[in-house]
Structure 1
Amino acid sequence: MNILAFFPAVVQSTRSLWRYGQTVLGIIFRHPITGTSIIPILPDGRIVLIRRRDDGQWALPGGMVDWGEDIPTTARRELMEETGLELIGIRRLVGVYSAPDRDPRIHSICVVLEAEVRGKMEVQDTLEVIEIQAFSPNSLPPGQMSHDHSRQLRDYLNGLTTLA
């Protein structure tokens, strides 16, 4: 039997598989990914920020919602993974931010929460975080923060609940 006789069937099968893969990838990546940012408030009122390894800028802790998680679970997990802090309670919803260009990596929808936290600040995920620091609301680091976190923090400090 000639192996070349099977070649057209293999090519057709590969093309079909590739089209199927493209469809699945299109469904996944043509829809925004949901994530959360946490505005962690220590008992003394200071706000905890992280410095991101990828861009060196200050940011709010947070990340993408994993399959099977809800927003509070994601906030608790991301806070612990990035800062070592324990989420005691969610105080309020600060906003939902969905501008397609808010995250330079992907189109994501970010649910921003103010959270009461406690514990010892310690970098847990050294691949993402290079530094953790707590700031009083009137002495936040100057300059632009990563992603749209400057706006998120500004909205929080102004007492807003934002849908953007």
Structure 2
Amino acid sequence: MTPKPESDEGPEPAEPKAPYAAEPQWLAWARRLQALSQSGLHYCDDVFDRERYDEVARIAAAIMAGHSEATAAQVERFFSEEVGYATPKTDLRAVVLRDGKLLLVRERSDGLWSLPGGWADVGETPAACVEKEVLEETGFRSRAVKLLALYDQRKRGAKPHPLHSYKAFFRCEIIDGAARPSIETSEVDFFAEDALPDLSTGRVTAEQLARMFAHHRNPDWPTDFD
């Protein structure tokens, strides 16, 4: 009897084992209140309704401050930068492999490692934005060739964040360049799947990287999405 060959998990993304507990209900409530306030202030002209939406924003900030180390004033300032109709933010990450090893950067902000990337910029396509992030953070010029995954961070075991966000993973190929840290990154290096460094889990999780390695071994897989 011929043994069944080993293979990676199929195209359907497996449920990750979250390094953090499920998102707390208070965070979901506070985030939703903030979004309702932000959108209400964007569309509302009535002075009394604007006062009510401002109060909703203060309640959301108080909830978050009550469950974190930040003060209500700090949370209010953070929320004040979000204007217009409230929508999820998009975090773009580059999956760059060379000789079977994954390109990672050490973040200066926390000393931990992550995929190159960051928030999407207004006025740029997703591909152009992720290519720019790779160049700025690593010194390598690259080309985005495939969207591997588009995840809702609430469902992917990520560290809780005040803002609702989607995370997009693009497979990128190196064109040229050399490893060079930046003002945001202190080190640039390639790592084997079984020798990953300590990760900045607010940016990327071990389960997500495992899935990206699996995509590399199975280039015909379709894009994962939530």
**Map of 1:80-159 to 2, 5 A cutoff?**
80-87=135-142, 89-100=143-154, 102=158, 104=161, 106-117=163-174, 118-124=176-182, 126=183, 128-141=184-197, 143-147=198-202, 148-159=204-215
Report sequence identity in percent.
26
Q: Which has the larger radius of gyration?
A: 1
Specify which of 61, 68, 88 is matched with residue 32 of structure 1: 88
State whether residues 82 and 123 of structure 1, in contact with CA within 8 Å, keep that contact through their aligned partners in structure 2. yes
> 1:4-36 CA distances to partner (integer Å, 9 max, x unpaired)?
xxxxxxxxxxxx5xx499699565484211120
Q: TM-score if structure 2 supplies the norm length?
A: 0.54
Higher strand share: 1
Instruction: Determine the structure 2 residue equivalent to 1:6.
Output: none
Shift of 1:109: 1.1
Query: Take 2:205 and 2:173, find their aligned partners in 1: how far apart are those partners?
Result: 18
Distance 1:138 1:54, change over 3 A: same
Query: Structure 1 unaligned runs (5+)?
Result: 1-15
Query: Take 1:96 and 1:109, find their aligned partners in 2: how far apart are those partners?
Result: 7
Confirm or deny that 1:67 pairs with 2:122: yes
Higher helix share: 2
Shift of 1:92: 2.5
State whether residues 144 and 171 of structure 2, in contact with CA within 8 Å, keep that contact through their aligned partners in structure 1. yes
Query: Take 1:29 and 1:130, find their aligned partners in 2: how far apart are those partners?
Result: 36
Distance 1:83 1:33, change over 3 A: same
Shift of 1:139: 2.8
Q: TM-score if structure 1 supplies the norm length?
A: 0.71
Query: Structure 2 unaligned runs (5+)?
Result: 1-46, 58-78, 216-220
**Could you say what secondary structure the match of 1:158 adopts?**
helix
User: What amino acid is aligned across from residue 90 of structure 1 in structure 2?
Assistant: A
Distance 1:105 1:56, change over 3 A: farther
**Could you say what secondary structure the match of 1:115 adopts?**
strand
Could you say what the CA RMSD is over the residues aligned between the two structures, in angstroms? 3.2
Distance 1:105 1:48, change over 3 A: farther
Query: Take 2:84 and 2:188, find their aligned partners in 1: how far apart are those partners?
Result: 33
Q: Which has the higher contact order (CA 8 A, sep 6+)?
A: 1
